[in-house]
Amino acid sequence: MPKKLLLLPPLCASSTLRAPRARPAARPAMNAARTGYRVFSANSTAACTELAKRITERLGAELGKSVVYQETNGETRVEIKESVRGQDIFIIQTIPRDVNTAVMELLIMAYALKTACARNIIGVIPYFPYSKQSKMRKRGSIVCKLLASMLAKAGLTHIITMDLHQKEIQGFFSFPVDNLRASPFLLQYIQEEIPNYRNAVIVAKSPDAAKRAQSYAERLRLGLAVIHGEAQCTELDMDDGRHSPPMVKNATVHPGLELPLMMAKEKPPITVVGDVGGRIAIIVDDIIDDVESFVAAAEILKERGAYKIYVMATHGILSAEAPRLIEESSIDEVVVTNTVPHEVQKLQCPKIKTVDISLILSEAIRRIHNGESMAYLFRNITVDD
């Protein structure tokens, strides 16, 4: 049987024979996929980190180590206290009353993570700020589009949000946006926490909210009512630039040019379309901020015979005197999710109740990191929801 030849590495001219050295283990490629991810909170205050802690507890992870604070001159400083190289980073930012500071915290943290070589930077922004400024108003600007461009420039590659004020806002971004829905949690609250909810009617406080109210009514198999009239003010009155420039007296008109005059709007007397007498009225909307319109709607529903009134919304901003006005009104309960911190308002008004939505946010984080489909989180969701 012929002997096998042992091939040795070639020797240099003056070298002596030595045993071959073991080859070192191959290093992983620089761009090899990694399984690590971290969750950071872009705000260090206790109220704002509460949601982040709930999410990390559900994920079985620890909150990333970072420091976010304001300098004495008002500038925002962010320091990342651990390595994030090659990892998927999720930044959770809830929006407190100081919206502009929260936006800067998010931008600066995203940029810090980008320069620290994070692989993907995903912003978890349950309530997206400036979402009401998503249409042109006379000589104003579409601030929401500006914010989307700033987030992309800072380094974000994906956003998870909830119940955008206008779904078309997703088109402002140059990267993926997952617009989750809080309605399953609010529907569950109605079924489990409102006694005799089968005797309820879903109410839209203005025609603009009718689609959302219809979605709730169809899922709960309940009736629908819509409040309409001059006491309601809608955003559509001055939404687009076709009202600009404003009409000017003695304006110069080209000879022979006669355009038809747009008739001024005149709202009818306030009325409730639908029967609410002897029933529970549940007003639904996406945002509850200035509560005057909700309080006025509750008074009208009381006059029409509703014996109990609930207000349900995804984002409970509850600015200014909202807790006091709710406490003194005919509203029996205001139910909101924890997309926005509102612990102070709850202390001022015991009528305010909170529904936790950290479950769906943590599941979205898990699926995005693992590259799984998000379809499960949008099951039975239609275009109008």
State pLDDT tens for residues 83-111. Answer: 999 999 999 999 887 899 999 999 999 99
17-22 mean pLDDT: 48
Residue range(s) defining the domain that contains residue 176: 38-180
Q: What is the pLDDT at residue 27?
A: 43
| Residues 199, 75 share a domain | no
Domain for residue 90, yes or no? yes
Q: Which residues are paired to 37 by β-bridges?
A: 88
| Residues 118, 98 share a domain | yes
| Residues 336, 213 share a domain | yes
DSSP state of 27: P
Domain count, the chain: 2
Dmax (CA) for the chain in angstroms is: 113
Q: For residues 209 and 335, is the Cβ–Cβ distance under 8 A?
A: no
Domain for residue 47, yes or no? yes
Phi-psi region of 280 (alpha: psi -120 to 50; beta: other; left: phi over 0): beta
Task: Give pTM, 2 decimals.
Answer: 0.82
| Residues 339, 200 share a domain | yes
Quick one: which of 327, 319, 320 has its CA closest to 348? 327
**DSSP-based three-state secondary structure for 216:** helix
Q: What is the pLDDT at residue 7?
A: 45
* E-assigned strand segments in the chain: 37-41, 66-70, 76-80, 88-92, 120-125, 158-162, 177-180, 200-204, 223-228, 271-273, 280-288, 308-316, 333-337, 352-355
Please say if the pLDDT value at position 383 is more than 80: no
Please say if the pLDDT value at position 128 is more than 60: yes
Q: What is the pLDDT at residue 10?
A: 46
Residues whose CB is less than 8 angstroms from the CB of residue 135 and which lie 6 or more positions away in sequence, other chains included: 142, 166, 235, 239, 240
State pLDDT tens for residues 249-279. Answer: 555 666 667 778 777 777 777 889 999 999 9
| Residues 201, 75 share a domain | no
Domain for residue 237, yes or no? no
Please say if the pLDDT value at position 197 is more than 60: yes
| Residues 215, 105 share a domain | no
| Residues 154, 50 share a domain | yes
Domain for residue 377, yes or no? no
73-88 mean pLDDT: 94
Domain for residue 250, yes or no? no
Angle at alpha carbon of residue 318, lines to 316 and 319, rounded to 5°? 140
Quick one: which of 65, 41, 67 has its CA closest to 55? 41
Count other Cβ atoms within 10 Å, centred on residue 33.
9
**DSSP-based three-state secondary structure for 76:** strand
Confidence of residue 163 (pLDDT cuts 50, 70, 90): very high
Please say if the pLDDT value at position 372 is more than 70: yes
Q: What is the pLDDT at residue 258?
A: 75
Q: What is the pLDDT at residue 355?
A: 97
Please say if the pLDDT value at position 73 is more than 90: yes
Pair of tokens at residue 357: 């939505």
Q: What is the pLDDT at residue 35?
A: 53
| Residues 171, 228 share a domain | no
Q: What is the pLDDT at residue 136?
A: 87
Please say if the pLDDT value at position 177 is more than 80: yes
| Residues 169, 223 share a domain | no
State the angle between helix axes of 358-370 and 46-59 in degrees (0 to 180), rounded to the nearest 10.
Answer: 60
Domain for residue 42, yes or no? yes
Domain for residue 2, yes or no? no
Q: What is the pLDDT at residue 256?
A: 67
State pLDDT tens for residues 277-331. Answer: 999 999 999 999 989 999 999 999 999 999 999 999 999 999 889 999 999 999 9
